[in-house]
A and B are shown apart, each in its own frame.
Chain A
Amino acid sequence: SSELTQDPAVSVALGQTVRITCQGDSLRNFYASWYQQKPGQAPVVVIYGKNNRPSGIPDRFSGSSSGNTASLTITGAQAEDEADYYCNSRDTSGNCWVFGGGTKLTVL
C-alpha cells in the first residue's frame, strides 16, 4: 500500500485563497479525489479527477495535480468552508484505496 500525506491544519482569512495539498507516490499514477467533512456529518466529495466538481459544489473549489502532489484550492474562502478535508486515491498496487490524514481548515 502507500500513504497520502496532508498538513494537519491550515487557516485562511475570510475571502482569501487557500491551497490544501496531498502528497503520495500513488498520485503519480492515479487521480486524487477530495472530501469535505463537517462536524457530525458524513463526508461529501468536492473534487474528483483532473478538476471535476459534482453538482452543487461551488466553483470556488478547484483541483490540480503535479507529480506526486494533488492540491485542492478554495478561491475566496467562506465561513461555511470551515471543515476537515481528506484526499483519497488508489494505492500503488491499484487494488486498494487510501485516505490522507486530513486537513482541518479554519476560516478566520
Chain B
Amino acid sequence: EVQLVESGGGLVQPGGSLKLSCAASGFTFSGSAIHWVRQASGKGLEWVGRIRTKPNNYGTTYDASVKGRFTISRDDSNNMAYLQMNSLKTEDTAVYYCIRHQYSSSSGDWFDPWGQGTLVTVSS
C-alpha cells in the first residue's frame, strides 16, 4: 500500500521552530517529488512547497508566505521527507500534509496519496 505518514506536530511558541517528518512506504520514494500542503482549521488548502528528486538536484520551491522560514529536505536512504519550520507565526497554525507528486507529460501534475496530516499549533 502506498502510504505517507506525517509526525512531529505540536504546540510551539511564536518565533519558535519545529521539524515535521514524513515517512513513505509502498513506492519508490527516491523517484518522486514530495510536496507539503497545509490547512488551517475551517479554511482551504494552501500549498507550502516541494522538493524534487536527486536527478533534479533536490531542487526546492516555496510559497512566498513561508520562503526564507521553511526548509524542505529528504533522506532517500530512509524514505523520509522533512519540513523544518523556523520563525513560526500564529498564522502558521494548521494541519500539515505531505504528498507524493505525480506527473506525466500527457496528464500534467497531481497529488496522490496524501498523508493523514499532523497538527501544528503556534501559540503563546
Contact = CB atoms under 8 A, between A and B. Distances in A.
Interface of A: 1, 30-31, 33, 35, 37, 42-45, 48-50, 52, 54, 84, 86, 88-90, 95-102
Assign chain B's interface to a size class: 20 to 34
B45 A43 contact: yes
Judged by DSSP, the binding face of B is strand
Interface in B45-64: 45-47, 50, 61-64
A44 B114 CA distance: 7
Contact of A30 (B61, B63, B108): B108
B109 A33 contact: yes
Interface in B105-124: 106-112, 114-117
Given A96-B63, A97-B35, A97-B50, A33 B110 contact: yes
Contacts, number: 72
B4 to A, nearest CB: 9
Contacts of B117: 42
B26 interface: no
22 contacts: A1-B64, A30-B108, A31-B109, A33-B108, A33-B110, A35-B111, A42-B114, A43-B45, A43-B97, A44-B114, A45-B110, A48-B102, A48-B110, A49-B110, A50-B106, A86-B44, A88-B109, A88-B111, A89-B108, A90-B109, A96-B47, A99-B47
